Structures are given as structure tokens and as C-alpha cells.
Amino acid sequence: MRIKVAGIGLTKFGELWDKSLLDLALEASYEAIEDSGIDKNKIDAVFVGNMLIGKIAGQDHLGPVITSSLGINCASFRIEGACASGGLAIHLAIQGILAGTYKNVLVVGAEKMTDAPSHQITWALMGASSSRERKAGLTFPALYALMTQAHMQKYGTTRKELAEVSVKNHYHASLNKKAHYPFEISIEKVLTSTSISSPITLFDSSPITDGAGAVVLSADTDSRGLPAGRQVFITGSAVASDTIDLAQRQSLSELKATQIASKKALEQAGAGIKDIQIAEVHDCFTIAEIMAMEDLGFCSKGTGGRFIAQGATRLGGSCPVNTSGGLKACGHPVGATGVKQIIEITTQLRKTAGARQVKNANIGLTQNVGGTGATVVIHVLQT
Amino acid sequence: MRIKVAGIGLTKFGELWDKSLLDLALEASYEAIEDSGIDKNKIDAVFVGNMLIGKIAGQDHLGPVITSSLGINCASFRIEGACASGGLAIHLAIQGILAGTYKNVLVVGAEKMTDAPSHQITWALMGASSSRERKAGLTFPALYALMTQAHMQKYGTTRKELAEVSVKNHYHASLNKKAHYPFEISIEKVLTSTSISSPITLFDSSPITDGAGAVVLSADTDSRGLPAGRQVFITGSAVASDTIDLAQRQSLSELKATQIASKKALEQAGAGIKDIQIAEVHDCFTIAEIMAMEDLGFCSKGTGGRFIAQGATRLGGSCPVNTSGGLKACGHPVGATGVKQIIEITTQLRKTAGARQVKNANIGLTQNVGGTGATVVIHVLQT
């Protein structure tokens, strides 16, 4: 597999009161199309990743809503898989290219979350879990709190180690102008912030964010006059599912779907996890990044907290993780997240990440999670 | 393209008060898997077509909701494109197979509509059109009434010709035990029924229906010991978009997306429209079937009403259309419709349609429309 990331576009992430979902989707799309150098009329399919706009604003059928506004006339699709909607849209766009049906595809991930009052957004997001969990009153912080408790109990992971994830990602975000929260925080800040669902605090949790990202993917594998090593290709793409209910799993302290999907995607890319120089992972809560490190194989099971606390995944470390600021500090507009991850890795591999540039990075990985790991999408990108 | 329809499964369509969306999706899925003879653990991806369950019941992330309940562990996706969600799910499943990523794929189209009060379902369905049309108070009957008026004015199409569509489809449904309304009606009944949005009456309109359909598609092209000419393959699959707003179109009396997508799908199949022996088209309102006949090329533009009234598309005619009863009389559970169309054509090409069997049918076509034609999906099936 060798699918070119021909163009990328990303809006500012944040509480964007003056912009609609469509404004955000179009801004990212136009930027990606311009960046690709491909005429918009040569886009032959649009894949939209979005979870919530039907529930929040009544708008479904986003494919032609976006193609209409872009003034293009091609096949279009909306893909939904909770917080993995963006990653799934990328994966299915790739299938269309590999099938030979589509040549140049625009993938747009977009979410407008702040228009809804907080009780409505909480209800809307709970659609990512099962009706049983909803009826039991298990919000997402509560579900991830169960996973956090299980991990702490089984492996001795500490509150301070969890906080280190948030501190690192806020540091990265402080170097990213597009981030929702581009400032540093301290360990103490995380530990003493409001408890959301014990042991998860406010600063263990990703925020409610508006934003959109778009990429143009192309079957064309030329490098369009770019300097050697600056053209980026997706070389692995895999999806795995797990039970929708946490209660049906044998273990609460791992995501099996991450293990399965990453193995497949790395095989496709002909790479091992030790080859990966940079990654964007799904840190919806701090425990999720710790489990991701372990389930991806960056470190052995149970040692994720220490691995992160030791600085390996901080800028300057052996494999920086979430240089964008991650979901925690760059923000988490759910349908956009999987696309933003691809954009961040592409930016890094192009060597255009500015103050947060990882030196000599030529191969990276993204991990996008839906719900509590019922869906996981892994992509591998290489120059 | 030669994708095997390895298995099919369809629930009864109707007001199914005692069944949930998941009940319906599982019933259709198990039937399709059993019919395929493929071990459920050899299904390597599940594509779910559904529009409304997030808005109506709060449940998103349907992919793993369904894989969990089926007890299988594979990639899963939810695809949404309003009333074309089912057709789009089939199209994307085919891309995954053509790409070589997936071998055996389950596609489930399901919708549970009657659980919502009627004002909620009206609001929910309006998500298929643009926010401008919603704000103008244009419900779907009103949008199709505009198209009906335009067609009547431009081509002299009559109320009686519109009614003929409904009468024919009710006759077909009277031969289909799975149909929501398995009984015949008269021209007078249609003409004198309650006006919904002039000139559309109650009996010009498809109903609010619960139901699910599932198909197993396979890259494997053997015929599994079936008699010659009974194994069915999808040989063409194409999607086209149009503007989300009716107001932005040059003509209200045609669906450009039907014209574009059908041309592509027929080219893929190496067939012309005159080769098609049977079709299932998207008769959400009677005018839609008349326009479909014209836009697909079964008859020239403006003559669709007369073409249908002359009996060509009735069982026993030269090309029976909507032998299932169509959306009008078999019912229209929106996410299921595109999948049900594939199931009906497959049943006919297998020669297992019983009382409504079309003799010697070996090539058929489906047309699945989203909204007012902003999305159209065309499939060609052959033995």
C-alpha cells in the first residue's frame, strides 16, 4: 500500500462560536485541496467523518452538504464510528483508491460540539457506548475511570504517572498555534483539579472542542517536485473492533483492538513498532495514552506509565507521542480527531512542524479509538 | 467487477413494536450468514447502513454494537447518506473487497422508525435535506410535491399516471409476505386519499417502516454447488451526488445523479439499460419512480408516467419494476432500503421469488436515492 497524502488542511481547534460545522469543514477542505495542487474538479469522492451533527443540529447527509458547498459533483459518503469516525473515513477512502474506483479523494473530519448545552453533548457522546452502559449511568469519564482503576490496581500505575501524560501533551500544545489549549500545566495542576470520575480529574480529560481537518489522498505516487523525503505516503491502514460493552471484556486494562489493528497495519507497511519514530495516539483520558503505549508495543504491558514519565515520548525523547498536543491539549472534535492525527504526522514527516518538529522523522503511526476501544483504527505513514 | 452475493436475509417490514433495531439487524444478519454457508468467523468486515438511530434512540457506533452481538470480531463501519445509507454501505463494502483488504463482508441495512413520535421522525428525516430547506419549512413531501408539480407542468404528467405507480407497487406487494402493506389498492383510493402536499396524497407516499436487510458479499466467485445461472454477482456499483438544495438545480423534473451513476454502473457491467430485465427503484413518492424510469433511460424524458401506465413495469411486462412492492408498499425503513433492493433482485435472479417471480431474469438494477437526489447509488446484478 502506498497512498499519497497529497494535501492537508486544518482549522484552529477551540471554542469557535462564530463558525458552523460547514464553515469549519470548508475551511479545512479548501486548504487541503490548495495544498494538494489538485484541481477541485479532479476530486472524485468525498468521505466525511462526523459523529454528532445529526443529533446536535439535525443535519445528516453531510456528504452532499459539503460537496454542494465546495461546488464539486462527485460521490460522497458520511462515515460514523464514534470518536474513530475520522480514522474510519481515511481507511474507507483508501479502500476506494486501492479498488481503483477513485483516484483523488478528499477526507474531511469535522465536529461542532460547543453549540450544544453540556447535558446534550454528554447524552450525544454516550451514543458511542452500549444502551446497557448508558442505562447504568456510565458516562465516558466513568468508563475510563474503571479502566484507570483496573490499570492502577493490576500494574501499580500512579496518579502522578497519569498526570505526566497531560503535562507532556500540554507542553507539546504550547508549541502548536492550532491547539485548543496552547499552554503548559504542572503536575500539581492535574492532581489538584476537580475530580470528574475518580481517579480521573478534569486535567486527565480531553475537552469539548470545535474543529475540522481535511486531507487529499491520491493514487498518484509522484512527489510533485517536493524535495526528496518530503512527500508522505500512507503505507498501512487497519481497523479492528472489540465488544461495545466493557463488561464483556476479559481485561479492562488493555485495548485488544489496538493490538490487532496495529499488528495488521505494521505488517502492511513492512515495519515493526521499533521503527516508528513518532506517533499520535488517542489520549481521550490519560489512561488511554498509557494503554496505547503498551498495546502498540512501545513498552511492555503495565509499564506505560513509567515509560511516559521517563520522557521517551516527550519532544526530544526517542519517540515523541502526540506532538500536536493530543486530544487532551490540542482538543478533541470527535469526527476530526482521526484526520488531525494524519495531518500532524504528515506535517512532521514533511519537516514543517516548526517549534515542535521531530528531527529526522520518516515513519509515524496514528491510533484513533472509538468509544472505549470497540473500534480502533491504525495508520502508518512514511516518507 | 464481479462480487458474489453469497447470502441474503430480510426481516418482515412493518410496524414492528416488539422488536428493537438490534433485534432486526441480528435477525437479517444471521439469515444472510446462514444463507451464505460462510462461517461467521470468516466475515472480516461489517458495514452498517443506518440514518436515524442516533437521533431517535441515542445509539451511534452501530458497527461494534452489531459485531458484539453477533459474537464476531472484525472491522466495522456505519455508513450514512440519508435514505441512500444502505446502497452506500453496499458500495463501500465492495470497495473493501476490490481493494483486497476484505474477503467476506456482511452489509446490514436497518432502521427502527416507529419508536419515535411522528413529529420527531419528521424532524429526524429532514436531516437529509439542507438547513435552508428545513428553515423554509420544506418537509420531504413538500420537496417532492415541487418536483411533481414541475414534472406535471413541463411534461403533462397526470395525477392518474402518478397513481398508477402506487397501484402497481401495491399489487406487487400483495405477492410479497415481507411487505409492510401486502394488499392491492385502486386508482380511486390513491386519488381520493388525504392530500399530504398537493398534488401528493397519502397513497403517493412511502410509509414509516421498521425493518432490516443483510447481505454477505464475497470475493470468492465460485458458485457453491448452486444450479447454473442461480449464483448472483454485483457487476456494477456507482455513486453520484447532486446539490443538497433543490433550489440550486437547473431542473426540478430530473435527478442528474441517477443519470450519472447509472451510466457508470452500466459501463462497469458492460451492459446497456435495454439489457436490464428487472429493477428496484426508489419510489419514496410516486413521482420518484416516474423520474427514475426516465433518468435511467427506460423511456425518454417526460414519458415516464405513460410508460408505467401502459404496464411495461408491472409483473408480466417487459421490465418489471419494484416487484418487492417498492418503498411505497413493501415499506421504507430508510437505512434498510438500499440493501432490500439488492435482496429483491438477488431473489429474482435466483428464481426464488415465488408468486412474484419474473421469468428468465438474469440481469437487474437497483437505484437508491438519498434526500431529493443529492445522493444516488446504482447497482447492477447478474447471474
Q: Given the DSSP bridges, would you call strands B195-197 and B200-201 parallel, antiparallel or unpaired?
A: antiparallel
**Which residue among A170, A180, A332, A379 is the active-site one?**
A332
Q: Give me the CATH code for the B129-205+231-382 domain, please.
A: 3.40.47.10
Residue B227's pLDDT is 74
- What is the residue type of A31? E
Q: How many residues does chain A have?
A: 383
Q: In the structure grid, which three cell numbers stand for residue B293, read together?
A: 424510469
Q: Could you list the active site residues of B?
A: 83, 332
Query: Which of B85, B101, B377 to mutate to probe the A interface, most A CBs <10 Å?
Result: B101
Q: Is the pLDDT of residue A225 over 80?
A: no
Q: How many CB atoms lie within 10 A of CB A156?
A: 12
CATH classification of A136-203+234-382, choosing from 3.30.470.20, 3.40.47.10, 3.20.20.450, 3.40.630.30?
3.40.47.10
Residue A297's pLDDT is 98
A239 and B375 within 8 Å at the Cβ level: the answer is: no
- Show residues of chain B in contact with A240, CB under 8 Å: 73-75
- Whether A330 is a known active-site residue: answer no
Beta-carbon pairs below 8 A across chains A and B = 191
Helices (H), chain A: 21-36, 53-57, 62-70, 85-98, 118-125, 131-135, 140-155, 159-173, 187-192, 256-269, 286-296, 304-309, 334-349
**pLDDT tens, residue by residue, A46-60:** 999 999 999 999 999
B61 and A370 within 8 Å at the Cβ level: the answer is: yes
Residue A230's pLDDT is 86
A54 and B59 within 8 Å at the Cβ level: the answer is: no
A63 and B54 within 8 Å at the Cβ level: the answer is: no
A61 and B123 within 8 Å at the Cβ level: the answer is: no
Could you tell me which chain A residue has the CA closest to the CA of B375? A64
Residue A111's pLDDT is 98
Q: Is the pLDDT of residue A226 over 90?
A: no
Determine what percent of chain A is predicted with pLDDT higher than 70. Answer: 100
Question: Distance, in angstroms, between A55 CA and closest chain B CA?
Answer: 5
Q: Is the pLDDT of residue A37 over 90?
A: yes
Could you please state the CATH topology (level 3) that the domain comprising B3-117+209-218 is classified under: Peroxisomal Thiolase; Chain A, domain 1 (3.40.47)
B68 and A244 within 8 Å at the Cβ level: the answer is: yes
Q: Can you tell me which residue has the cell 479523494? A: A105
pLDDT band at A221 (very low <50, low <70, confident <90, very high): confident
Which 3-state string (H, E, C) describes chain B?
Answer: CCEEEEEEEECCCECCCCCCHHHHHHHHHHHHHHHHCCCHHHCCEEEEECCCHHHHHCCCCHHHHHHHHHCCCCEEEEEEECECHHHHHHHHHHHHHHCCCCCEEEEEEEECCCCCCHHHHHHHHHHHCCHHHHHCCCCHHHHHHHHHHHHHHHHCCCHHHHHHHHHHHHHHHCCCCCCCCCCCCCHHHHHHCCEEECCEEHHHECCCCEEEEEEEEECCCCCCCCCCCCCCEEEEEEEEECCCCHHHCCCCCCCHHHHHHHHHHHHHHCCCHHHCCEEECCCCEHHHHHHHHHHHCCCCCCCHHHHHHCCCCCCCCCCCECCCCHHHHHCCCHHHHHHHHHHHHHHHHCCCCHHHCCCCCCEEEEEEEECCCCEEEEEEEEC
- Show residues of chain A in contact with B259, CB under 8 Å: none
A129 and B61 within 8 Å at the Cβ level: the answer is: yes
Could you tell me which chain A residue has the CA closest to the CA of B65? A244
Tell me what the mean pLDDT of segment A251-273 comes to.
98
B130 and A68 within 8 Å at the Cβ level: the answer is: yes
Phi, psi of A220 (to 5 degrees): -70, 120
3-state secondary structure of A39: coil
- Show residues of chain A in contact with B127, CB under 8 Å: 54, 58-61
Q: Can you tell me which residue has the cell 433518468? A: B295
3-state secondary structure of A175: coil
Of A76, A42, A239, A80, the residue nearest B91 (C-alpha): A76
**pLDDT tens, residue by residue, A356-365:** 999 999 999 9
- Show residues of chain B in contact with A68, CB under 8 Å: 130, 241, 243-245, 248, 374
Q: Which residues contact B319 (CB under 8 A, 6 or more apart)?
A: B276, B277, B278, B279, B298, B312, B313
- Show residues of chain A in contact with B45, CB under 8 Å: 239
Query: Which of B94, B95, B130, B243 to mutate to probe the A interface, most A CBs <10 Å?
Result: B95
Q: Can you tell me which residue has the cell 443540529? A: A57
Which 3-state string (H, E, C) describes A127-148?
Answer: HHCCHHHHHCCCCHHHHHHHHH
Tell me what the mean pLDDT of segment A10-26 comes to.
98
- Show residues of chain B in contact with A98, CB under 8 Å: 95, 98-101
Sign of the four-CA dihedral A107, A113, A115, A116? positive
Q: Are both A3-117+209-218 and A136-203+234-382 of the same fold?
A: yes
Region of residue B188 (left: phi > 0; alpha: psi -120 to 50; beta: else):
alpha
- Show residues of chain B in contact with A21, CB under 8 Å: none
A81 and B76 within 8 Å at the Cβ level: the answer is: yes
Choose the closest CB to A61 out of B75, B76, B244: B244
- Show residues of chain A in contact with B55, CB under 8 Å: 54-55, 58, 60
Of A4, A7, A2, A51, the residue nearest A30 (C-alpha): A7
Q: Which residues contact B5 (CB under 8 A, 6 or more apart)?
A: B215, B216, B217, B232, B233, B234, B342, B346, B381
- Show residues of chain A in contact with B371, CB under 8 Å: 61, 64
DSSP designation for A116: S
Rg (chain A; Cα; Å): 19
A78 and B81 within 8 Å at the Cβ level: the answer is: yes
pLDDT band at A163 (very low <50, low <70, confident <90, very high): very high
B63 and A375 within 8 Å at the Cβ level: the answer is: yes
Choose the closest CB to B130 out of A65, A73, A242: A65
Query: Which of A62, A77, A143, A243 to mutate to probe the B interface, most B CBs <10 Å?
Result: A77
DSSP designation for A321: B
Asked if B222 and B213 touch (Cβ cutoff 8 Å), the reply is no
A81 and B61 within 8 Å at the Cβ level: the answer is: yes
**pLDDT tens, residue by residue, B146-165:** 999 999 999 999 999 999 99
Residue B228's pLDDT is 72
- Whether A61 is a known active-site residue: answer no
3-state secondary structure of A357: coil
Q: How many CB atoms lie within 10 A of CB A41?
A: 11
Question: Distance, in angstroms, between B91 CA and closest chain A CA?
Answer: 10
**pLDDT tens, residue by residue, B46-63:** 999 999 999 999 999 999
A58 and B88 within 8 Å at the Cβ level: the answer is: no
| Chain centre to alpha carbon of residue B66 | 21
Asked if A328 and A165 touch (Cβ cutoff 8 Å), the reply is yes
Choose the closest CB to A64 out of B54, B76, B374: B374
- CA dist A217 to A8, A87, A350, Å? 9, 13, 15
Of B36, B30, B34, B31, the residue nearest B4 (C-alpha): B36
Choose the closest CB to B127 out of A61, A129, A245: A61
**pLDDT tens, residue by residue, B75-85:** 999 999 999 99
Tell me what the mean pLDDT of segment A281-310 comes to.
98
Could you tell me which chain B residue has the CA closest to the CA of A60? B127
Residue A229's pLDDT is 78
Residue A359's pLDDT is 95
**pLDDT tens, residue by residue, A172-211:** 999 999 999 999 999 999 999 999 999 999 999 999 999 9
- Show residues of chain A in contact with B94, CB under 8 Å: 99
d(CA B295, CA B304): 9
When the pLDDT of each residue in chain A is averaged and rounded to a whole number, the result is 96
From first to last of its 383 residues, what are the pLDDT tens digits of chain B?
Answer: 999 999 999 999 999 999 999 999 999 999 999 999 999 999 999 999 999 999 999 999 999 999 999 999 999 999 999 999 999 999 999 999 999 999 999 999 999 999 999 889 999 999 999 999 999 999 999 999 999 999 999 999 999 999 999 999 999 999 999 999 999 999 999 999 999 999 999 999 999 999 999 999 999 988 776 777 789 999 999 999 999 999 999 999 999 999 999 999 999 999 999 999 999 999 999 999 999 999 999 999 999 999 999 999 999 999 999 999 999 999 999 999 999 999 999 999 999 999 999 999 999 999 999 999 999 999 999 99
B238 and A129 within 8 Å at the Cβ level: the answer is: no
Of B374, B371, B364, the residue nearest B341 (C-alpha): B364
Question: Distance, in angstroms, between B65 CA and closest chain A CA?
Answer: 6
A40: number of CA atoms within 13 Å, CB side? Answer: 15
Q: Given the DSSP bridges, would you call strands A211-218 and B45-49 parallel, antiparallel or unpaired?
A: unpaired
- Show residues of chain A in contact with B75, CB under 8 Å: 238-241
Asked if B239 and B376 touch (Cβ cutoff 8 Å), the reply is yes
Choose the closest CB to B61 out of A58, A77, A82: A82
Tell me what the mean pLDDT of segment A75-79 comes to.
98
**Which residue among A74, A83, A284, A299 is the active-site one?**
A83
Q: Which residues contact B151 (CB under 8 A, 6 or more apart)?
A: B157, B252, B253, B287, B290, B291, B302
Domain residue ranges in chain A: 3-117+209-218, 136-203+234-382
A81 and B82 within 8 Å at the Cβ level: the answer is: no
B241 and A55 within 8 Å at the Cβ level: the answer is: no
Choose the closest CB to A126 out of B58, B88, B129: B58
